[in-house]
Amino acid sequence: MPLDSNHPLNSLGFAKPPAQTRVVVAMSGGVDSSVVAAELASQGYDVVGVTLQLYDHGAALAKKGACCAGRDIHDARRVAETMGFPHYVLDYENKFRAAVIDEFADSYLAGATPVPCIRCNERVKFKDLLETARDLDADCMATGHYIQRKMGPQKAELHAAADAARDQSYFLFSTTQDQLNFLRFPLGHLPSKDDTRALAAKYGLSVADKPDSQDICFVPNGNYAAVIEKLRPGAADPGRIVDVDGTDLGEHRGVIHYTIGQRRGLGIGGLEDPLYVVRLDVDRKEVVVGPKSMLSTRIVPLREINWLGDVAITDQAEWHVMVKVRSTRPPRAAILRPISETEATVELLTPEEGVSPGQACVFYDPDSTRILGGGWIWRG
């Protein structure tokens, strides 16, 4: 149905009744996306629930704390039955393996610290699933992410969630403007997760008390090394731990077991000053350690930048922004200097420790909650 200029905008921003507005809800089986689906269905929207099967669930059926296990597909289906809307399970296993898992393994083997949840949003959920939503003639796609979409004077804008403790903007920086125009995030304005659970209880959803997912969905019990060793045999070959001058300090049990900034578990006690992992040399199978001061970084090279500002990133030589270089850290003041539309350097006004290739650097407007985009950290 075409938009009716005489009809007031509904809660999803369309000038037509909810019953004539189709919304595909990406349902993980958790409480967040379940509440989104239930809330929209209760408001009378034409809801279609979709759950993605992303990997072989055989080993994960009994596993708690993962977002995509077989139990979660069952939970999503029950919510759809409770609220009376159709639900589909799509097999994206091959796409997920090619777009997310393989790169995750290769990034670790290259000495980087990848963030597969960002790649999953970028390459699977907000790409393939979003295209599926369009194929289903949906007006928009809604997710349970804690982030806000607001209409600015020029276009739809991405803003941090009202609840800073739940904000997921770090994981969604690569959302493009075209995707943002089609996406909706109905939970982003809620003050706390308690409000989400209260809504789940209100609708009588079986997932109201379901615990939040903690692990990366395809990494059981957070054991990255076991997953990578299975995907890339030989990845856990032992090698040497050396200092920055090349002095041999002992043996390690495989580069994939170590991350930049790690101090514990190195097995090189007896030294006067504590040493940290400062570099991983995969080709030489060396874990390079040094003093904490070597972890301090001021200049961060970025590539694959996604920019959501109102003018091109190259319109200014410098942008004064706030940035996050890790999902768990608060934004810090920085200067963004574009090299091209997809490359830049960021100068951190206060140096940060443990900045690692493979992580994201996300840009925030210093004067508001708006996300201006971000890029991927690399060695330069």
Give catalytic residue positions: 120, 217
For residues 152 and 30, give the distance between their C-alpha atoms in angstroms, rounded to a whole number. 31
For residues 199 and 214, give the distance between their C-alpha atoms in angstroms, rounded to a whole number. 22
Q: Where are the beta strands (DSSP E) in the chain?
A: 22-26, 46-53, 87-91, 140-142, 147-151, 156-160, 183-184, 239-243, 248-252, 276-281, 286-290, 296-307, 319-324, 332-338, 344-353, 360-364, 371-377
For residues 182 and 178, give the distance between their C-alpha atoms in angstroms, rounded to a whole number. 7
- Please give the biggest Cα pair distance in the chain: 77
Let me know: does 203 contact 82? Beta carbons within 8 Å: yes
**Tokens at residue 133, please?**
């939503």
DSSP 323-360: EESSTTS--EEEEEEESSSS-EEEEEEEEEE---TTSE
3-state secondary structure of 288: strand
**Tokens at residue 182, please?**
């089609």
For residues 22 and 12, give the distance between their C-alpha atoms in angstroms, rounded to a whole number. 10
Residues ≥6 apart with Cβ < 8 Å to 326: 170, 354, 359
- Burial per residue of 215-242, b for 16 or more beta-carbon CB atoms within 10 angstroms, e otherwise: bbbbbbeeebbebbbebeeebbeebbbb
**Tokens at residue 189, please?**
């304005």
